Amino acid sequence: MSKSTLSRSKPYAQLAAYLLFCAVILAVPSFVTDAFLLNKFARYLALGLAAAALALSWGYAGILNLGQGVSFGIGAYAIAMHLKLKTSPVHTGSAGLPDFMVWNNLDHLPWFWQPFHSSLFAVAAGILAPVVVALLLGSFMFRARIAGVYVAIITLAMLAVVNLLFIDQQAYTGGFNGITDLAWLEAGSVTFDPYSPAFYYLSAGALSLCLLLGLAFTRSKAGLILQAIRNDADRVRFFGYDVAAYQSLAFAVSAGMAGLAGMLYAMVLEFASPTFMGVPLSLSMVIWAAVGGRGSLLGAAIGAILVNFMQGSLSESFLDTWQLILGGMFILVVVFLPNGLSSLIGILADRLTRPARQTPDTALAALSEAPRAGRTPS
Amino acid sequence: MDIFFGQLFTGLSIASILLLVALGLAIIYGAMGVINLAHGEFVMLGAYGTWFLQSQFGLPLIPCLLLVFFMVAAAGWVVESTVVRFLYHRPLDTILATWGIGIMLQQAVRLSAGAELRYVQTPEFLSGSIDIAGVGIPSYRLFILALTAALLALTWFVIQRTEFGMKLRAVTQNREMASCYGINSARIYSLTFAFGSGLAGLAGALVAPIKSVAPDMGTNFVVDAFMVVVVGGVGSLIGTVVSSGLLGSGTAGIAFLLNDTLAKALVFLAVVVLVRFRPQGLFVDQRRR
Amino acid sequence: MTFTRRNFLKSTAVAGVAGSVGFPHIWIKDSGAAWAANGEIKVGVLFSLTGTTAVVEKSMHNATMMAIDEINAAGGINGMKLTAIVEDPASDPATFADKSNKLVLNDKCVSVFGSYTSASRKAVLPVFEKRKNLYWYPTLYEGRECSKNVMYTGAVPNQQQKEFIPWLVKTFGKKFYLIGSNYIYPKEENNVCKILLKELGGEVVGEEYVPLGHSEFGSVLNKFRETKPDVIFSTVVGDSVIALHKQYKAAGFSPDKMPMASLTTSEVEIAAMGGEYAAGHFTSAPYFMGHQSKENEVFVENYRKRFGKESVTHFVSEAAYFQMHLFRKAVEKIGKGDITPIAVRDATAGLEIMAPQGKVKVDGDNLHCYLWPKIGQAQADGQFKVIQQSSDWVKPEPYWAYPGQSCTKDGLKGA
């Protein structure tokens, strides 16, 4: 299939592309000095990471997760809880209760908030909590051989559940208000003001690291098995592999990355909001990944950055028209270029190296997945 | 007692709206295997169509219904023949493409009709309430209930008793075979998609007086409708009816005991568990086995 | 050494390489001159034009823009034009925070006028405190806040509930059902209501919160039926207000026996739902559209000339309107080069102005406004009939329900 050939045929070219991208994003602060702009770029990078995480589970393992917001949101809230506790004593006295708890008549800090006084714990929780949730949900689904459309539906429903619970439990989560008034993260002697180059480097560093680790993961044996599962789960099962375990693993790794993205996003916005777990944002992430290329972590990340960058640089008045164009562009990509813009490069490269050969219809042939359970396609 | 009765009616009322919205989706998904995430936007189009006809031409609600059905059905036909048609062999990609269509429809409405909330008036003779067993039952809710039942009967009739329905069932069971027998399956699919979209538009027109009409109103509908269809079982009308009844009364009951937010969360959680253990849904269309 | 922006500035400046590294230039302009450059004063206008509270915020946006145009038509402020930078935060608190960062940091607005829900105010508050800017908030709210970077021109509980709750208990009875939207404003407003009811010997028979944008009140209405309250105390906001009133009437309830008493329902929601659904219910507010005064006549006439014969004014849009004129009066007092958000705040403290509701004054200590509370009953024509009104303006006391605490010039005391 196209993607496996792509990733095996030009391993060095691929690595070079990843390294080049990392070098470019890390070099940005040398050219951009406007703090507001840097903050915006840091935000796009965080969203790029979320899209790359999605590509890992969707493009490589065939798990279309419409509830990416669950992991993203948990990450965001984990770090927000820590940063909120750092500002609390300033505003509500020595007891140090976050303001929304005071309005909701709580008189002491709930036990599960206690450990978030530690920044190390918060950062760990922001990554590991989504991983644990994904492992639980993943084995719950994959042990029953749920696949295809039904994974999409379950993850979408879970997203709705988590979102509603966060809105309802106002005394513990800030409800609809979200968690506002966050302090800046400190690590050692560095303060990560979201409008500083320091924060941008944090964001760019996290994305670079995740992309390279992700690339290594997809090239590992587990990564190859996952791609095989994506193409034909039953055949892999007959070889004796524990398909559910591999799928859960991919789902969990993706969740951890999304959690990290959520943390960065909450810090860059200085806010954690239940809209991070709304249906529109999660589906937008799918769009970004699809536009950039679901079959490539780098492609998905670039897709997210590109779409958001274009959206952010347009004037407010043109935004509605832009969204119309974006919708149309997205449909065109899905219909005619299922592997996203990044597959264009592969197609062009093929054309250049083998000009006489047939057109690469391999990309189009991919991904005719059928829902495994329930009905068989007619 | 009157509380129980009132609560029963609330459940029925929520269920009827769920069914109304899910009916079109159930047909499209059941017959074509297309997950149409633009379904909510067709509901929205129906609501805007009603608002437009009412505010521009002063049409009363009832004649609006018929016009809106055909308007939205036409929109559905266009969407099918320009986009969905190319994706029948890629079910997951239909999710994405139809979401894109949803975005476009939302923006098109936002650009043409404005982003502000719109309100549709309830017809005068349906704005009161009828006293049943000591409980004031809103007449308009009864009207929706009755119309939903009528639409259900109509849909059943179309699928089971008309030539179009027969062809549709044939195409659903085996598209290639049906084509060999001379059935124009592409045309059947277009008409089915248009019919399902028209039903969504009708649902939009009917809920418009009780909800505020906004370009993004469809998102909530589509998620709810999906859960109904999946729980009911693909391709089963009875299943869709039963599952909307279960989800509706479940939501109303839990909302009465706890609150509306938790009710929705718990119902969705139940859906997750159900899909895990019975992905084919409560009712399976036996003829297809 | 900590790597904060300001320290970074110092260290690089000392090293003589400022500007050569990734240094955020906007911080260089942190002096007065930047806030009123090129003969224009930039102000942010931040009301949701879409989403669940757009029904109210659109009218607040309109009133704000009308006041800006009035000021510019009269020659601006000391010869400088006001330039409005409009953003649509779409009824989402996170977007509010995001957009206000843009207005403050990128557009360098000297003040931002905006928002309806408390959730959105709480969301933008840290931005204005951190960036030392000024936010003008025209909405009634729940009090218990004492920011030095917000001008509060709407009512606080002692200007709405203090007269209202005793009157309701006396007129209808002691059993209250509290229904609100699920966020901070209704929760805290109900905290105050419960404190008052306790003093009056009242009883809360139910307390319920629905999500914002909620439109299915069947189960809630059944709870009314079961608990049989004398008064439904509603702090539901946005388009849910419309659904609630419509479904209340359709369920066969009557405001004669079980009225809804609201702190938020105004002429604008009633216009959207239709007068017959609101008729008979009560609202406590410092301004109603039918108020008799010369200023109000002009205000309503101009508003309708601009936004259509059917358009309505209400107590939140009125505050959105007069606060812009407060801003004008304050800036007029400041020299051209000295305009900063903090200077504007200091000039506004203690200022008086003739608003459509009567003469209002900004409290010099807590930056809230002296207002004229009234109790109104909605009529079928969409207007309110004033049942009772205060004889004098009422001093704002944001910590009124919490004895021993007060908001002073130096912040909260006695917490």
ipTM of the complex: 0.88
Contacts of B90 in chain A (CB under 8 A): 338, 367-369
How many whole angstroms separate alpha carbon A136 and alpha carbon A134? Answer: 5
Contacts of A36 in chain C (CB under 8 A): 24, 26, 101-102, 105-106
Interchain contact, B215 vs C50, CB within 8 Å: yes
- C-alpha dihedral sign at C258, C261, C267, C271: negative
Interchain contact, B260 vs C250, CB within 8 Å: no
C220 to chain B: nearest residue by CA? B256
- Does the CB of A318 have a partner CB in chain C at under 8 Å? no
Q: What is residue C291's DSSP assignment?
A: -
What pLDDT shows up at residue B1?
Answer: 62
A8 or A151, higher pLDDT? A151
What pLDDT shows up at residue A374?
Answer: 35
Contacts of B87 in chain A (CB under 8 A): 334-335
Give every residue of chain C whose pLDDT is below 70, as ranges. Answer: 1-34, 415
B250 to chain C: nearest residue by CA? C219
**Which candidate in B131, B210, B219, B249 is best for mutational testing of the C interface (most C CBs within 10 A)?**
B210
- Report the neighbours of B using a cutoff of 3 or more CB pairs below 8 angstroms: A, C
Of B174, B175, B279, the CB nearest to A150: B279
Q: What is the mean pLDDT of residues A30-56?
A: 92
Give how many domains chain A has, as a whole number: 1
- Does the CB of C60 have a partner CB in chain B at under 8 Å? no
What pLDDT shows up at residue B237?
Answer: 86
Q: What is the mean pLDDT of residues A167-183?
A: 90
What pLDDT shows up at residue A316?
Answer: 62
Classify residue A205 by burial, with Cβ atoms within 10 Å: 0-12, 13-18, 19+: middle
- Report the neighbours of A using a cutoff of 3 or more CB pairs below 8 angstroms: B, C
Please indicate, yes or no, if residue A138 is contained in any of the structural domains.
yes
Interchain contact, B107 vs A323, CB within 8 Å: yes
The answer to whether the CB of C187 falls within 8 A of the CB of A170 is yes
- To the nearest whole Å, the CA of A31 is away from the closest chain C CA by 7
Radius of gyration of chain A from Cα atoms?
A: 21
**Number of Cβ within a 10 Å radius of residue A36:** 16
- Does the CB of C58 have a partner CB in chain B at under 8 Å? yes
What pLDDT shows up at residue A372?
Answer: 36
Q: What is the mean pLDDT of residues B18-35?
A: 88
At B269, which amino acid appears? Answer: L
DSSP-derived 3-state class of residue C181: strand
How many whole angstroms separate alpha carbon B253 and alpha carbon A157? Answer: 20
Contacts of B110 in chain A (CB under 8 A): 320
Please indicate, yes or no, if residue A375 is contained in any of the structural domains.
no
Classify residue C293 by burial, with Cβ atoms within 10 Å: 0-12, 13-18, 19+: middle
- Does the CB of C254 have a partner CB in chain B at under 8 Å? no
Interchain contact, C24 vs A190, CB within 8 Å: no
**Number of Cβ within a 10 Å radius of residue C20:** 10
Q: Could you tell me how many CB contacts below 8 A there are between chain A and chain C?
A: 119
Q: What is residue C311's DSSP assignment?
A: -
Interchain contact, B100 vs A331, CB within 8 Å: yes
pLDDT tens digit string along B130-152?
Answer: 877 777 788 888 999 999 999 99
Interchain contact, C209 vs B259, CB within 8 Å: yes
pLDDT tens digit string along A321-376?
Answer: 877 888 888 898 888 888 888 888 777 777 777 654 444 444 333 333 333 333 33
Radius of gyration of chain B from Cα atoms?
A: 19
Q: What percent of chain A has pLDDT over 90?
A: 51
Please indicate, yes or no, if residue A297 is contained in any of the structural domains.
yes
The answer to whether the CB of C175 falls within 8 A of the CB of C238 is no
Helices marked H in chain A: 2-9, 11-31, 35-55, 68-92, 99-103, 119-142, 149-168, 170-173, 197-219, 221-231, 233-238, 243-269, 279-292, 297-313, 319-336, 342-353, 362-365
What pLDDT shows up at residue C415?
Answer: 61
Contacts of C252 in chain B (CB under 8 A): 128-129, 131, 135-138
Interchain contact, C3 vs A32, CB within 8 Å: no
How many whole angstroms separate alpha carbon A295 and alpha carbon A10? Answer: 15
C90 to chain A: nearest residue by CA? A275
Interchain contact, B107 vs A279, CB within 8 Å: no
The answer to whether the CB of C375 falls within 8 A of the CB of C390 is no
- C-alpha dihedral sign at C237, C243, C245, C248: negative
A139 or B2, higher pLDDT? A139
How many whole angstroms separate alpha carbon C268 and alpha carbon C272? Answer: 6
Interchain contact, C225 vs B3, CB within 8 Å: yes
Interchain contact, B140 vs C250, CB within 8 Å: yes
- Does the CB of B184 have a partner CB in chain A at under 8 Å? no
What pLDDT shows up at residue C179?
Answer: 95
Lowest mean pLDDT of A134-143, B181-190, C325-334, name the range: B181-190
For residue B165, what are the contacts with CB-CB under 8 A and spacing of at least 6? B157, B158, B159
pLDDT tens digit string along C191-235?
Answer: 999 999 999 999 999 999 998 888 889 889 989 988 999 999 999
**Number of Cβ within a 10 Å radius of residue C108:** 17
Of C51, C219, C252, the CB nearest to B129: C252
Range of the domain at A175: 2-365
Which region, left, alpha or beta, applies to residue B238 given φ > 0 means left and ψ of -120 to 50 means alpha? alpha
Q: What residues of chain A, 295 to 324, have a C-beta less than 8 Å from chain B?
A: 320-321, 323-324
Contacts of A41 in chain C (CB under 8 A): none
Please indicate, yes or no, if residue A102 is contained in any of the structural domains.
yes
What pLDDT shows up at residue B115?
Answer: 73
Please indicate, yes or no, if residue A302 is contained in any of the structural domains.
yes
For residue B29, what are the contacts with CB-CB under 8 A and spacing of at least 6? B35, B36, B229, B234, B235
Contacts of A191 in chain C (CB under 8 A): 2-4
Q: What is the mean pLDDT of residues B66-94?
A: 91
Q: Which helix (H) or strand (E) holds C65?
A: helix C54-73
Query: Facing residues of B130 across strands?
Result: B137
β-pairing verdict for C203-210 and C175-181: parallel
DSSP-derived 3-state class of residue B141: helix
Q: B111 to each of A318, A320, B50, B106, how far by Cα in Å?
A: 10, 7, 18, 9
The overall pTM is greater than 0.90: no
Contacts of A175 in chain C (CB under 8 A): 182-184
For chain A, what is the mean pLDDT? Answer: 85
**Which candidate in C55, C187, C222, C236 is best for mutational testing of the B interface (most B CBs within 10 A)?**
C222
Degrees (nearest 5) of the Cα angle C23, A52, A306?
55
How many whole angstroms separate alpha carbon A16 and alpha carbon A10? Answer: 10
| B286: confidence class by pLDDT, cuts 50, 70, 90 | low
Structure tokens, A314:
């347009």
Q: What percent of chain B has pLDDT over 70?
A: 98
Of A279, A328, A367, the CB nearest to B219: A279
**Number of Cβ within a 10 Å radius of residue A107:** 8
Of B119, B138, B214, the CB nearest to C272: B119
Interchain contact, A178 vs C93, CB within 8 Å: yes
Domain architecture of chain C: domains with CATH: 158-285 (3.40.50.2300)
Please indicate, yes or no, if residue A371 is contained in any of the structural domains.
no
